[in-house]
Structure 1
Amino acid sequence: MRPVLPSLTTTISLPISYFLFLTALLISIVKASPPVGTLHYREHFYVGAHYVSQPDASASADVPLLADGQIYVEHLTPASGASKEHPLLFVHGAGMTATNFLNTPDGRMGWADWFLGQGYEVYLVDQAARGRSPWLQQVDGPQTSFSTQTVESLFTAPERFALWPNASLHTQWPGVNGSVGDPIFDSFFASMVPLLSTDVESGMKNQDALVALLDRIGAVHLLTHSQAGLFGWSLADARPHLIKSLTALEPGGPPFSGDVLSPTVPSRSWGLTDIPLNYDPPLPNNSPDALNKDKIVTNDPARDGYTCYAQSPPARTLPSLKNIPIVVVTSETSWHGVSDGCIVEYLKGVGAERVQFVRLQDHGFHGNGHMFFMEKNSLEIVASVVGPWIADVDRERTARRERLVVAKVDDP
């Protein structure tokens, strides 16, 4: 005898307690799930590639070619559509990738997601020859990597090493102690990648690729961190009309010399960068040797006697930076607290009329270090400091356009 299957109209009775159990289970799952962030569309592409001959190829009419210099670009768009006129472009620092801004090492929402929620399109890149941007062994220069001790002492647990003033005040890194064996540290360190050994090669490759990116996508709000701060100055110098604002989170520096960790080591021969900038008057033979330098010692207690360098008067200017809104953001406990002020003073000296300097402790944020955009209070910082500054730039630009329209209407 064949079994009889229930028809579509068959009613199956279950006790109400079963449905109550399912409802409670679903609620508990939702509560236990991490925040999903902002719903968005995602695409990726590569830009900046050029073909080079394979160095070890035999001489022939058909020389094998390689693609070099390209960078990986991730493009995120709010699912509801972008409400802001210009997107944000994030460029990460040394030894890291674009994942820095997607979420924090302990799984919280990152800054990219926060800006998506404010209606911005977001672009994130992996630096040239880094991460998902290919490093070619036959073409590119040698690489280096950060050790666990370097990461602990500079980024995640500087309070244990006290290599500079205020390091002992660091408290905001998530996790147990910011050291090997702490799951949050281990997760962060696992994301570190090799980087090019020389700042000159990094500067040139990233300059070329980032210029190609801006030429493709148009004007942006640029946000850089650490090593990428140098790329920000050179990119603004090359494409000033495409930089609507520049947010430099503890940019690489200071001008002409090493930071507090190596203050006597010459560096950044072009002042802000290791690669050429368009000074006015132009430098003879396009050589930075013509940039005359003066030592500047200030009474700023945050400097702890640190010596800055500036140009001897009359200083050459960087006309491309004159009208770009720039903010340098520095944490309370990072080594950058000693020397970032030197960068701001140099920017003013070369004619950057709209530069501002923000120390997070002056806005009530204490205990933060060099990686403050992924520390415990990262979302409070972006919501209270960085996000509003960029929004103010947009409002000011809109108001200026409206004044120009009114002026044209009133002009007989």
Structure 2
Amino acid sequence: MRLRGLFFALFSVSFLGALGATANPSTSKQAARRRAAENVGTLHRRSYFYVGGVYDVLGQNGSALSSEQTYVEHLLPQNIKQRYPIVIIPGYGMTGTNFLNTPDGRRGWADYFLEKGYELFILDQPSRGRSPWQPGIDGTLFTFDSLTIEERFTAAQKYDLWPEARLHTQWPGEGVRGDKIFDNFYRSIVPSLLSNTDSSQKTTDAAAALLDEIGPAVILTHSQSGMYSWPIADVRPTLVKAIITLEPNGPPFINAVFPPFTADRPYGLSEIPLQFSPPIQSAADLQPVVVSSTTNFTCMDQSSPPRKLVNLLKIPVLFITSESGYHSVYDRCSVSFLKNAGVNVDHANLGEVGIRGNGHMMFMEKNNIDIADKVIHKWLKERF
């Protein structure tokens, strides 16, 4: 379990939100140093550890390699003020560094939550980043190219690939290759497992191992990692006290917006099995049916009467959708699937609560602190 009474003989003064400043005399570097001086960050203690991992024997001599171990960054504020820590699991192509500060040097969500007194545990998904990928053991890797990042995340308004894309205004900078802020962000994108099924199982196992070690916690997920929310809660229902998910992978059962529109997430919003009541023998027992269909998006759900996600019934969920991201096309369908399965979901559509112009990378956009403060922290304080 966590040690709440750690002796603070040595604090790390966090420069979250101001990393990267150097002694280079150029104007941009001087500006970065000024931002660093203005934003020292929240006093905290930093440490790291690993959870999970297995030894893969190499041969008859008994030597082995370790795989599937998962890096966990532990950030402990000087004064813990909140009942439960937050476990942060980044989405596809990302590591825990993306939650430390923004690409343009502002405060990230880690610093905000530390200021509010939350203890944080930030993961790098297995086989990614500081959680080593082992050649010959782990699966095929894939990396997003720069154009995909521009089209879907940082400059969606320039490409207009879905109706709401034109509303995107909150990314700092131009959001295209050659812009310094974009370049800084794109350089942080790392190779990730191509198989969502493998990633789902490995990360679920890692998160379960972490919860077994630290005790009850709130899970915060984004995009790809959002679909891990459900199996993590399913296998540790007494330790997951709440789920906050930012535009989790969806919609149910089938891909949307970007072709090909192939079947996916056979358990609704999960690649791997979940416990339903009445029980199912296979994913086919859910008998998905079409609820509605429009251009580039088909909403599907279980056949009636819907089975319940029995282990998630008592876990509150905050499901956040940006005003302009491609999830604005279909997140209501994902929320409907969860509600029909008995899950207690609050859907925060940012545009409808007055937080305008955000896209899929809302946690690093210009108004990122507004989202953390007015939506997430507020929701948590109402419950704990």
User: What TM-score results when the alignment is normalised by the length of structure 1?
Assistant: 0.83
Distance 1:156 1:235 in 2: 29
User: % of aligned pairs identical?
Assistant: 46
> If you compute each CA radius of gyration, which structure gives the higher value, 1 or 2?
1
Equivalent in the alignment of 2:16: none
The alignment partner of 1:104 has SS state of: coil
**How big is each residue's C-alpha offset from its partner over 1:82-130, in whole Å with a ceiling of 9 and x where there is no partner?**
1212101111000010111110000111111101111110110001101
Matches within 5 A, 1:53-68: 53-54=57-58, 57=59, 60=60, 62-68=61-67
Equivalent in the alignment of 1:76: 75
Matched, 1:360 2:350: yes
Matched, 1:345 2:342: no
Q: Is the 8 A contact 2:259 2:296 kept in 1?
A: no
- Displacement of 1:304 in angstroms is 7.0
Matched, 1:42 2:39: no
**How big is each residue's C-alpha offset from its partner over 1:337-364, in whole Å with a ceiling of 9 and x where there is no partner?**
0111111101011111x21111001111
Equivalent in the alignment of 1:226: 223
Q: Which runs of 5+ in 1 are unaligned?
A: 1-28, 395-412
Equivalent in the alignment of 1:320: 311
The alignment partner of 1:33 has SS state of: helix
Amino acid at match of 1:41: R
Matched, 1:308 2:305: no
Kindly tell me: are residues 319 and 30 of structure 1, through their superposed partners in 2, closer, same or farther at Cα, counting changes over 3 Å? same
Q: Is the 8 A contact 1:89 1:124 kept in 2?
A: yes
1:294 equivalent among 289, 297, 302: 289
Amino acid at match of 1:310: D
Q: Is the 8 A contact 2:47 2:73 kept in 1?
A: yes
**How big is each residue's C-alpha offset from its partner over 1:278-325, in whole Å with a ceiling of 9 and x where there is no partner?**
1122212xx212210111128xxxx87832100001211111111111
Distance 1:171 1:393 in 2: 32
Distance 2:129 2:35 in 1: 34
1:90 equivalent among 84, 88, 91: 88
Equivalent in the alignment of 1:23: none
The alignment partner of 2:238 has SS state of: helix
Equivalent in the alignment of 2:252: 255
Distance 1:260 1:293 in 2: 19
Distance 2:175 2:318 in 1: 29
Equivalent in the alignment of 1:17: none
**How big is each residue's C-alpha offset from its partner over 1:66-92, in whole Å with a ceiling of 9 and x where there is no partner?**
11111100001112x212121011110
- Displacement of 1:263 in angstroms is 6.5
**How big is each residue's C-alpha offset from its partner over 1:160-190, in whole Å with a ceiling of 9 and x where there is no partner?**
1111111011111002x10011000000000
Distance 1:338 1:386 in 2: 22
Kindly tell me: are residues 32 and 111 of structure 1, through their superposed partners in 2, closer, same or farther at Cα, counting changes over 3 Å? closer
Distance 1:321 1:31 in 2: 43
Equivalent in the alignment of 1:401: none
TM-align CA RMSD: 1.5
Amino acid at match of 1:206: T
Distance 1:384 1:117 in 2: 15
Distance 1:153 1:30 in 2: 32
Distance 1:66 1:375 in 2: 39
Distance 1:386 1:136 in 2: 36
Moved >2 Å (runs of 4+): 29-32, 303-307
Equivalent in the alignment of 2:179: 182
Amino acid at match of 1:164: W
Matched, 1:334 2:325: yes
Q: Is the 8 A contact 1:225 1:248 kept in 2?
A: yes
More helix by share: 1
Matched, 1:164 2:190: no
Distance 2:98 2:164 in 1: 24
Q: Which runs of 5+ in 2 are unaligned?
A: 1-32
Kindly tell me: are residues 304 and 364 of structure 1, through their superposed partners in 2, closer, same or farther at Cα, counting changes over 3 Å? farther
